[in-house]
Amino acid sequence: MKLKRDKHDSLGPPRSLSSSARAKIVGGGAFVLLVLLAGLFLPLPHSAVEPRPLETYLPPGPTYWFGTDSAGFDVFSRVIRSARTDIPIALGGVLIACVIGTPLGVILSRTTRFSEFAMRILDVFQAFPLLIILMVLVAVSGNSGDVTIIIGAVGFGNLPLFIRLVRAESMRIRTLRFVDAAEVAGASPLRVSLRHVMPNATPIALAQFSLSAGYAIVLLAALGYLGIGVLPPTPTWGGMINTGAQQLGNGIWWTLAFPAVAISLTVMSLNLVADGIRSWLMDPRD
Amino acid sequence: MNAVSGHCGADCQGSTLLSVCGLGVNYRGADDNSTPSVRDVCFDIHATEIVGIIGESGSGKSTLARALMGLLPKSAHWYAESSAYCRPDGTEVDFIGTDIQPSLRGTQLGFVPQAAAGSLNPVMRIDAQFRRTLAAHSISWREDGRSRALAALQQAGLQQSDVVLRSYPHELSGGMAQRVVFALSSVLEPRVLIADEPTSALDASVQQQMLNMFCGQVRTAGNGAIVITHDIRLAKVFCDSVLVMKDGDLVESGPTGEVLGNPQHPYTIELLDATPAQIDVQPPSRTHDVGFTHGARSSACPRQHRRAVGFDHVVLGVADD
Amino acid sequence: MLKSSPMMRYIVYRGVFIAAAALLMVSVSFFLVNAVPSNPAGAILGSFATEQGISDLNHKLGLDKPLLQRYFEYMSGLAHGDLGTSYYTDASVLESIKSRIVGTIVLIVPSLLFAWIFGTLMGGLAAVYRGSRIDTVVNVVISMLQSVPHFVIGLLGALLLSYSFGLLPAPTGQVPVGMIPPEPRTGAVIIDAVLAGDWNLVVPAAKQLVLPVLALGLFNSVLFARTVRTTLAHALESPYTEFATARGISSVGVKLMALRASLLPTVTYAGIVFANLVGGTAIIEIVFSWQALGQWGIQGIQRSDLPVIQGFVLVAGALALLAYLAADFAAFALDPRTRRAGASGVRTPVVPTGGTDEVEAG
């Protein structure tokens, strides 16, 4: 399961950000932050959790900007409020994987027999499709809507990837001359790892963090669609897509479209940030 | 056609193979300004002639070679005041920067790149690479393509040519790869073979054979060759005429004996001074080995002393750059 | 003395790994499901659960035994081919898997092929037309495909292509509306139709496949597109491309040769995408009412049917692991650089020069 890296990926000390890379990172990051803050703090025009049974299936209009759904909820309010659950879970979970996985990856990058063995074991863990791991962990542990379990599951599921990625990058960094120089100068292996290797492996972990967070949102949407994880009436984008899908045949599109767009824009922003970080690191080619 | 101040005419007289006048190359930089990397080069090449282009790194030699082939990237703009490629049937065609130029590649203009190992597609067998090359010029592999490939490899010094054909590039050593690259270019028997630093990656004895091989191809078949090199001693032994490049300008050109024996331009003088004159690259221990000693004449491919018609010893000014 | 070739060494090493991995995989799937604090009995009994009812059910299902004991019982059952029975239907888990797995494979394989081809096309376009508007368009498309969840693509596709324009059938599952399913031999309607010679059924059954395969394929094409975009761009700028152009090979020919040199990484990624698809089909099967392994597994997950969940996790993991291994092996075997150097017979110096033409050992 070795991912062959492009031979042209040269890495030195991070160059100064090109303007397009900076735009990507800032733009993407700002959007996600905006959505998250809106989800947390934006005062909503209508309640997101109190149904209004008399006002179901209203198309988008001046009162209900995104229309209403099957229970009379204002779609706009629910879309915004969903950000409060979906985004922190994704970011938090992947952050755990990143924070734990990066040092582990650096440590395991010294080619000892133990590290080879550990990687093989990790291979097996990584083989399980992430979606299935998430579903099983969350559902089996009771599906009580407890957010910490979901975050833990996301972290656990992403951990092997971060370990493997950082390890591969660290192994490459170790072949660079400045690491040699440090070792020759007598630095202990621990110091070499912490002071020299890890700082240079961190950028790629950050890029992956953003990428995985985006993927996590996609998977969380799938979980929400299946009713696993966060429970009603708390809105989630996935859950909204579920209810929205049921009315497709009747031409009611807004209940499906708006949460779908929200997910897509958020994930795209996260991918943009990852792209920006990567072009900051790699040979300027584009 | 002599260029003294940039006004010239390129044409096909006598045994001329190609002729260019006022050849220049500009690169469009990131800031959209054009940086010239070659300026106002004029020369021609005749049948059985080996022209050497010498200069330091960055003098524009490789760019010049690629401009002749039309192999420059899109960000480059190459042009000539006039150019003429002389076809075997006697017709002339203006080729620099025109649509005709790509069609000359292969059978009319051949190119031998510098780094052999990187120039072979790593996932294709050698015979497949020959096959593609020949097929691009409508030479059927089955009919005579394969035998031509075998012959080209043999002539390049690879006697186990059928074995080489079945190999992948990574299975060949550096010297073998260079020969394969040479064979791939010469199998089409181009009239002008342009070689970019053909020997810089090889060690001495292999260099010798490579050049002899070159020489044989050119002189016997009546074709011409242009050799780009930073090694003056090589030029001295093998090239009939030389062009001296500095920072994109052609500072001096003419028959080798004159330019290198009696240099006029200060830069040429500098270059020659910097060249160790009496050091043998390899002591001649085999009958066909020759070291690059100053003024050696015992090469298997002696340079011709000729004053080609119209090609005088030209010095483009002696002003400081 | 027979020297082991790189190929042999690879096979042996991988063989040992597979055996150990299989063992580990089964254990992991067991603990994944059982070591998490859970209350399946409570979930099964639902709102009628009482303390007594729960502990009775726990005892009946054997859930009150210590974890390790259950582990060993499970492992020994596995050795005999017994994967347990569903809490709800009493159907053997193994049988359920066997009758459904082909239905899922029928989704995964075409999706993989579509993703591969479409992704390579996209990446190829972006690389060849680098810097132009085509490149930008392709990049935007790739970005969007990666951001819209596959099941959403499926739903939107159903909305547009089925409900609005009627081009494709509604997401009703494997069996086309109003048609009689063939005799279930493999569990995949389209294959069973072919096997039964029921030709009227084959084309409609194939049409049922289009939307789910499109959804999965489009979403998963991004990995291929990015890889090809990078490797092909690199290949197009390489010395061997320049040399091929210099020899007079047509611009199309040159690009195809460059593509050949850049396809190898996609083989490795095919393994990864296959594994992703195993997870992806699960939810697509729900969206499209596709009765196969994923739907069965998710149903089990939703109602805490532990043996089903375990079986599902095990199969999913096994399929993914096999995919990784197969892709790795294929990448190794197809790479000319891992051929035994000298396999073509090039051994001796071909010109007497004093040793500069030795073949690289290897």
Residue B218 belongs to some domain of the structure: no
Q: Which two tokens stand for residue A128?
A: 């399980």
Residue C351 belongs to some domain of the structure: no
Residue B208 belongs to some domain of the structure: no
Q: How far apart are CA C289 and CA C295, in angstroms?
A: 8
Q: Which two tokens stand for residue A73?
A: 């909820």
Q: How far is A203 from chain C (nearest CA, A)?
A: 20
What end-to-end distance do the CA atoms of chain C give, in Å? 16
pLDDT, one tens digit per residue, over B79-136 is 888 888 888 888 888 888 888 888 889 889 999 998 888 899 999 999 999 999 999 9
Per-residue pLDDT at B252 exceeds 80: yes
Give B302's pLDDT tier (boundaries 50, 70, 90). low
Q: What is the pLDDT of residue A85?
A: 87
Quick check: A250 contacting C, CB < 8 Å? Answer: no
Determine the 3-state secondary structure of B273 from DSSP.
helix
Contacts of B119 in chain C (CB under 8 A): 239-240, 242-243
Q: What is the pLDDT of residue B317?
A: 43
Contact at CB, C149 and A268, closer than 8 angstroms: no
Task: Choose the weakest-confidence range: A56-70, A246-260, B106-120, B185-199.
Answer: A56-70
Contact at CB, B113 and C242, closer than 8 angstroms: yes
Q: Tokens 């025109």 map to which residue?
A: B98
Can you give the C-alpha Rg of chain C in angstroms? Answer: 26
Residue B230 belongs to some domain of the structure: no
Residue C31 belongs to some domain of the structure: no
Residue C170 belongs to some domain of the structure: yes
Report the mean per-residue pLDDT for chain A.
80
pLDDT, one tens digit per residue, over B157-206 is 888 888 999 999 988 888 888 889 989 998 998 989 999 888 776 777 77
Q: Which of A214, A222, A122, A128 is nearest to A162 (CA)?
A: A122
Contact at CB, C146 and A221, closer than 8 angstroms: no
What end-to-end distance do the CA atoms of chain A give, in Å? 29
For residue B252, list its beta bridge partners.
B244, B315
pLDDT, one tens digit per residue, over C156-171 is 888 788 777 777 777 7
Quick check: C163 contacting A, CB < 8 Å? Answer: yes
Residue C360 belongs to some domain of the structure: no
DSSP B173: -
Report the mean per-residue pLDDT for chain C.
82
Give B282's pLDDT tier (boundaries 50, 70, 90). very low
Number of structural domains, chain B? 1
Task: Choose the weakest-confidence range: A188-197, B285-294, C55-64, C108-117.
Answer: B285-294
CB A261 within 8 A of CB A237: no
Quick check: C201 contacting A, CB < 8 Å? Answer: no
Judge B/A contact: 3 or more CB pairs < 8 A.
Answer: no
Residue C210 belongs to some domain of the structure: yes
Q: What is the pLDDT of residue A194?
A: 75
Residue C67 belongs to some domain of the structure: no
Q: How far apart are CA A241 and CA C117, in angstroms?
A: 29
Q: What pairing do the DSSP bridges indicate for beta strands B224-229 and B92-93?
A: unpaired
Quick check: C53 contacting A, CB < 8 Å? Answer: no
Q: How far is C194 from chain A (nearest CA, A)?
A: 31
Q: How far apart are CA A156 and CA C31, in angstroms?
A: 14
Q: What is the pLDDT of residue A190?
A: 74
Residue C241 belongs to some domain of the structure: yes
Number of structural domains, chain C? 1
Residue B286 belongs to some domain of the structure: no
Contacts of A256 in chain C (CB under 8 A): 155-156, 159
Q: What share of chain B is helix, strand, coil (3-state, %, to 5)?
A: 30, 25, 45
Contact at CB, C357 and B124, closer than 8 angstroms: no
Q: How far apart are CA A57 and CA C325, in angstroms?
A: 50
Q: What angle do CA C253, C259, C263 make, to 5 degrees?
A: 155
Q: How far apart are CA C114 and CA C112, in angstroms?
A: 5
Q: What is the pLDDT of residue B134?
A: 93
Across the interface, of A124, A268, A272, the residue whose CB is closest to C25 is: A124
Amino acid at C8: M
Q: What angle do CA C196, C197, C201 make, to 5 degrees?
A: 95
pLDDT, one tens digit per residue, over A107-155 is 888 777 888 888 888 888 888 889 988 888 888 777 777 788 889 999 9
Q: What share of chain A is helix, strand, coil (3-state, %, to 5)?
A: 70, 0, 30
Q: What is the pLDDT of residue B270?
A: 83
pLDDT, one tens digit per residue, over A170-217 is 888 887 777 777 777 777 777 777 777 788 888 889 989 999 999 999
Q: What is the pLDDT of residue A149?
A: 85
Q: Which of B181, B186, B183, B221 is nearest to B197 (CA)?
A: B181
Per-residue pLDDT at A54 exceeds 50: yes
Q: What is the mean pLDDT of residues B34-57?
A: 86
Per-residue pLDDT at A8 exceeds 70: no
Q: What is the pLDDT of residue C224?
A: 94
Judge A/C contact: 3 or more CB pairs < 8 A.
Answer: yes
Contact at CB, C24 and A267, closer than 8 angstroms: no
Q: What is the mean pLDDT of residues A14-36?
A: 77
Give residues 211 to 230 of A whose Cβ lies within 8 Å of C: 214, 218, 221-222, 225-228
% of chain B exceeding 90 in pLDDT:
14
Residue B139 belongs to some domain of the structure: yes
Residue B86 belongs to some domain of the structure: no
The model carries a pTM of: 0.82
Across the interface, of C39, C163, C279, the residue whose CB is closest to A142 is: C39
CA C86 to chain centre: 26
Contact at CB, A132 and C297, closer than 8 angstroms: yes
Could you tell me the sign of the dihedral formed by the alpha carbons of C241, C243, C247, C248, in that order? positive
Q: How far apart are CA B314 and CA C64, in angstroms?
A: 101
Q: What is the pLDDT of residue C339?
A: 62
Contact at CB, B168 and C337, closer than 8 angstroms: yes
Per-residue pLDDT at C252 exceeds 70: yes
Quick check: C180 contacting A, CB < 8 Å? Answer: no
Residue B220 belongs to some domain of the structure: no
Q: Which two tokens stand for residue C171?
A: 């997401």
Chains touching B by CB (3 or more pairs below 8 Å): C
Q: Which two tokens stand for residue C34?
A: 């059982």
Amino acid at B300: A
CB B281 within 8 A of CB B206: no
Q: Which of C115, C99, C103 is nearest to C277 (CA)?
A: C115
Q: What is the pLDDT of residue C283?
A: 92
Per-residue pLDDT at B280 exceeds 60: no
Task: Give the best-scoring range by mean pLDDT among B264-273, C68-77, C247-256, C296-305.
Answer: C247-256
Across the interface, of C149, C230, C324, the residue whose CB is closest to A218 is: C149
Contact at CB, C147 and A271, closer than 8 angstroms: yes
pLDDT, one tens digit per residue, over C57-77 is 777 777 777 888 888 888 888
Chains touching C by CB (3 or more pairs below 8 Å): A, B
Amino acid at B252: E
Q: Which two tokens stand for residue A258?
A: 């708006």
Give A11's pLDDT tier (boundaries 50, 70, 90). very low
Task: Choose the weakest-confidence range: A222-236, A242-256, C342-356.
Answer: C342-356
Q: What is the span of the domain harbouring residue C223? A: 101-343
Contacts of B124 in chain C (CB under 8 A): 257, 260-261
User: Among all residues of chain C, which has the CA nearest to that of A242?
Assistant: C287
Q: What angle do CA B159, B163, B169 make, to 5 degrees?
A: 105
Q: Tokens 């959209």 map to which residue?
A: B32
DSSP A196: I
Residue B6: how many CB atoms within 10 A of its CB?
13
Q: Which two tokens stand for residue B173?
A: 């050593």
Task: Choose the weakest-confidence range: A1-15, A112-126, A230-244, C142-156.
Answer: A1-15
Q: What is the CATH number of the domain that holds C329?
A: 1.10.3720.10
CA A22 to chain centre: 20
Give A168's pLDDT tier (boundaries 50, 70, 90). confident
Q: What is the span of the domain harbouring residue B157? A: 111-189
Q: What is the pLDDT of residue C336?
A: 80
CA A274 to chain centre: 10
Per-residue pLDDT at B300 exceeds 60: no
Q: What is the mean pLDDT of residues C204-222?
A: 91
Q: Which of B65, B24, A245 is nearest to C243 (CA)?
A: B65
Reading phi first (left if > 0) and then psi (alpha if -120 to 50, else beta), residue A102 is in alpha
Give whole-number Cα distances, A67 to A56, A77, A165, A224, C29, in Å: 9, 10, 44, 21, 44
Residue B263 belongs to some domain of the structure: no
